[in-house]
Structure 1
């Protein structure tokens, strides 16, 4: 199974200067709970935003065009085809966590979506693809996140599954 895991604001914003434009511990917990079930796949820019890389408890797979890139313990790949071969042979679920280029790249292959919608608008420079076709998916679960002194923004967690014809 291939899945996306991400958080976005009301305008599909997912990043600012290679970082999240918000702090939301509840979303971090959701992200960890979901991604601990398999391997995580990301682009190099996304990987380099992780302070203590690679993320523990799961294989980190990083897509880069740099042939000599040192992933500091991550598995380095150089193409979409390489990721799909790894996925086919691993038997693990793959969770694609960004950036926007990978979300565009795997739109036709992804099976599930794990999305956090933050009900605010932020300033930033990176957006989830605006032409993503949600009509190919069914939202199967959603719930409101807890708003408290640490999670100050209203937010909703969603799980979507591809509709099989």
Structure 2
């Protein structure tokens, strides 16, 4: 298997990805997909996203946190202050690196992404954080997708799209 850098996120029809530093929906089927995809790999997020998760490490994944604060330490996680340091770490190991966000982290790593996995939630929800409007999604082509229908546990229909960078 060739390792890769992959952005993974969920958004509503208007691009909402968060509300008050948390996910503005509860979709167990989407969370299951996220866990199965990222398990045994590395995940990177910004400190604000990490705080929004209650500073909780996700089991079975190596956690990387990007922060401007050089004094930040997080037990059980690797803490970085810049993209270059994260990329150096990535080059010297064998796991995929999944970029979880937030918005600024997606922007910082856009040029380095091999793939993206985006969950399109077929609804409009309230939120205060949006996926970056200037992110060039046209650089990626959809290679697969899987639809899910709302049910007693999942409040919305959604589609998971797998996209690869064009011309790679």
SS for the counterpart of 2:84 is helix
- Match 1:43 to one of 36, 42, 46: 46
Cα deviations by residue, 1:10-35 (Å, 9 ceiling, x for unpaired): 00100010011111111111111111
- Match 1:109 to one of 86, 109, 112: 112
- Bigger mean CA deviation after superposition, 154-163 or 67-76: 67-76
2:18 corresponds in structure 1 to 15
- Structure 1: tracts of 5 or more residues without a match: none
- Match 2:29 to one of 4, 26, 29: 26
- Match 1:140 to one of 143, 156, 165: 143
Deviation of 1:147 (Å): 1.6
Task: Judge conservation of contact 2:39–2:61 (CA < 8 Å) in 1.
Answer: yes
Measured in 2, the distance between the counterparts of 1:42 and 1:52 equals 11
Deviation of 1:51 (Å): 3.5
Measured in 1, the distance between the counterparts of 2:31 and 2:55 equals 15
Deviation of 1:143 (Å): 1.4
Q: Does 2:58 match 1:83? A: no
Cα deviations by residue, 1:40-79 (Å, 9 ceiling, x for unpaired): 0000011112236211101000001111212121100110
Task: Judge conservation of contact 1:26–1:146 (CA < 8 Å) in 2.
Answer: no
TM-score, with structure 2 as normaliser: 0.94
- The verdict on how the C-alpha distance between 1:104 and 1:61 changes in structure 2, with shifts beyond 3 A counting, is same
Q: Does 2:154 match 1:151? A: yes
1:6 corresponds in structure 2 to 9
- Hey, which bits of structure 1, 4+ residues long, moved more than 6 A? none
State the Cα RMSD in Å.
Answer: 1.2
Say how many residue pairs are matched: 165
Measured in 2, the distance between the counterparts of 1:67 and 1:106 equals 20
Task: Judge conservation of contact 1:17–1:124 (CA < 8 Å) in 2.
Answer: yes
- Structure 2: tracts of 5 or more residues without a match: none
Deviation of 1:37 (Å): 4.4
